[in-house]
Structure 1
Amino acid sequence: MNYRHAFHAGNHADVLKHVALLALCDALTAKPSPLFALDTHAGRGLYALSADAARRTGEAAGGIGRLWAQPPAVPAIARYLDAVRACRAAHGEDAYPGSPWLLAHALRADDRIAACELQDEEAAALKALFAGDARVAVHPRDGYAAVKALLPPRVGEVRFARGLVLIDPPYEAQLGEFDAALAALREGLARWPTAVFALWYPIKQRRALQPFFRRAAALPARSALLAELLVRRDDLPLRMNGSGLLILNPPWQFDRALAPALQALRPALAEGADASTRLEWLRAPA
């Protein structure tokens, strides 16, 4: 793969994904039993927004840049900005955390994290980032294959009943990526049905996603929730107009916790009058 997330770090899609990821972590850590988190497409874990890649696109200015300048008074967004602030205190004022850094920040001493990255350079940076953190195992391997290899999770003598799987692929194959992602979700649910699964997806033309939504609704999960943020209208095929998360088996009342954040992100990150959000059950909890 040629994809490098450094070009897109801190953009509107990262904001949505990371606000939701931290909210999931907080809901899961509300119970005392240990957790296991699998990040299938982890990237390098930490990005510098002053680096050439980020400056070339300028995407962070329309994401974390806007929230940093005018933070909405919403708990889930404040939680996210606190995490970014902690990252910058540790790594410099231009730092932006990737999902594995946020998992390590949000989870506890007895929780465990597996972060997978296939690209050699990115995997080496990820391994260096977590060299001193025994909770985090870095796997330089294909993330989809890791769903089969690492689930159900066991670390030493500990078997984990609860946890989170984040699937955040680059979509270099565009719509074809959904075949691999849905297959991984089906495999993961069969192996670890008690876990929460979150799949991030880009939105260019919403109508093209209808087959994905139908197939996602048929997955053997207890419940399935869609959370989306579009910063412009959803029919511009050459741009990423927004993004979403398919969340399977979300924690109890997670939709209520996330709703105020979505409502605040729409005006904060909108790039036109057609910005919108969606929070909808594909399958409601029984």
Structure 2
Amino acid sequence: MAIILLFSGISPMLSYRHGYHAGNYADVLKHAILLQVLKAMHKKDKAFVYVDTHAGAGAYSLEDEFAQKTGEYLDGVAKLWDKTDLPLALKDYVAAVKTFNAEQDELSLYPGSPAFVDSELRPQDRMVLHELHGTDHELLSDYFAKDRQVKVIKGDGLAGLIAAVPPLERRGVVLIDPSFEIKTDYQDVADAIIKAHKRFSTGVFMLWYPVVDREQTEAMLSKLKNSGITKQLRLEQGIKTDSNEFGMTAAGLWIINPPWQLDELAKDSLDYLAKTLGGIDGHVTVKWEVGE
């Protein structure tokens, strides 16, 4: 198994801050699946690299003004906090968040993608984190200041992705989840993944995507689907019917070269999330968009 790419970050506008959305329903799906991908990587002793194109601040306080202003985590991770009937992927996810909050013994902090990965990093593994937003880059650098396994880069994550592949380890995880603040982000992301895949065709690419404008999102995903790349899996959770109104109606992961049985683990989790976090008009999708 090779690299996994997930993109979560800042456009050149530099206005997006993930602290407003930390721990929401989209984060639940993204991080639960990310953890399972990392656990799959552990099945081989050989080292891997994790590359995050838009890493954010690393971790977030759910008690600060960002999280309290939106309260999105209350309809996300908070609803799973005390559940005792969670399927495997969600059980591992909640356990990881609880470990991160061990000192407080309550839900007050939320780990970003780099912090989740840090908890799964073995001595032979490493991380390469890109973040363009000045404040978040500083916070991220401080968070990993003493960790020699982690390299934090201030710059364009999509360009950084191309430079990062193929890795010397020949295995890895890359997370791609931009903010998609401007329309060109959608096509830029698809182009970057296709280019990166040409350089590293055995990589596992995980793209996080929002559904704000369904037509716009599907145009990006169709470009990937029709690129000639094989083994492309869609995982999506919608909380309401798509519309032209402001706000995200669904979010998902588009995964190229997913680990074996990830689709089954994801289906169990999404079916559970549909009844726990989904609205009355919600939906879930687990679909192989492109086979072998």
Q: Answer whether TM exceeds 0.5 for this pair.
A: yes
Deviation at 1:69, TM superposition (A): 3.5
Match of 1:104 in 2: 118
After superposition, residues 68-217 of structure 1 pair within 5 angstroms as: 68-89=81-102, 93=106, 94-153=108-167, 159-173=168-182, 175-217=183-225
Does 2:280 match 1:273?
Answer: yes
Match of 1:242 in 2: 250
Could you say if the C-alpha distance between residues 115 and 236 of structure 1 is closer, same or farther in structure 2, counting changes exceeding 3 Å? same
Deviates more, 1:214-223 or 1:180-189: 214-223
Instruction: Give the Cα separation in 2 of the matches to 1:7 and 1:71.
Output: 28
Percent identity of equivalent pairs = 35
Instruction: Give the Cα separation in 2 of the matches to 1:182 and 1:8.
Output: 24
Match of 2:230 in 1: 222
| Per-residue CA distance 1:122-145 (angstroms, 9 max, x = gap) | 111111111222211111111011
Deviation at 1:108, TM superposition (A): 1.3
Instruction: Give the Cα separation in 1 of the matches to 2:152 and 2:264.
Output: 33
Does 2:50 match 1:37?
Answer: yes
| Per-residue CA distance 1:232-264 (angstroms, 9 max, x = gap) | 222253121120111011112211121101111
CA contact (8 A) 1:23 1:258 kept: no
Match of 2:63 among 17, 41, 50: 50
The AA in structure 2 aligned to 1:264 is Y
Match of 1:15 among 6, 24, 28: 28
SS at match of 2:240: coil
Instruction: Give the Cα separation in 1 of the matches to 2:20 and 2:85.
Output: 25
Match of 2:289 among 278, 282, 286: 282
Deviation at 1:176, TM superposition (A): 2.6
Instruction: Give the Cα separation in 1 of the matches to 2:136 and 2:104.
Output: 17
The AA in structure 1 aligned to 2:198 is A
The AA in structure 2 aligned to 1:29 is H
Instruction: Give the Cα separation in 2 of the matches to 1:90 and 1:236.
Output: 43
CA contact (8 A) 2:56 2:137 kept: yes
SS at match of 2:180: coil
Could you say if the C-alpha distance between residues 233 and 113 of structure 1 is closer, same or farther in structure 2, counting changes exceeding 3 Å? same
SS at match of 2:101: helix
| Per-residue CA distance 1:94-139 (angstroms, 9 max, x = gap) | 1100001111112211111101101111111111111222211111
SS at match of 1:89: coil
| Per-residue CA distance 1:53-93 (angstroms, 9 max, x = gap) | 11000111000111114354211001001110111126874
Match of 1:3 among 11, 16, 19: 16
SS at match of 2:102: helix
CA contact (8 A) 1:12 1:242 kept: no
SS at match of 1:226: strand
The AA in structure 2 aligned to 1:200 is W
CA contact (8 A) 2:98 2:105 kept: no
Instruction: Give the Cα separation in 2 of the matches to 1:91 and 1:123.
Output: 26
Instruction: Give the Cα separation in 2 of the matches to 1:92 and 1:110.
Output: 31
Q: What are the ranges of 5 or more consecutive residues in structure 2 without an aligned counterpart?
A: 1-13
Instruction: Give the Cα separation in 2 of the matches to 1:273 and 1:72.
Output: 21
The AA in structure 2 aligned to 1:168 is D
CA contact (8 A) 1:29 1:107 kept: no
CA RMSD of aligned residues (A): 1.6
Deviation at 1:205, TM superposition (A): 4.1
Instruction: Give the Cα separation in 1 of the matches to 2:228 and 2:137.
Output: 32
**Structure 1 length as normaliser, TM-score?**
0.92
Instruction: Give the Cα separation in 1 of the matches to 2:256 and 2:103.
Output: 33
Deviates more, 1:27-36 or 1:39-48: 27-36
CA contact (8 A) 1:84 1:97 kept: yes
Match of 1:156 in 2: none
SS at match of 1:265: helix
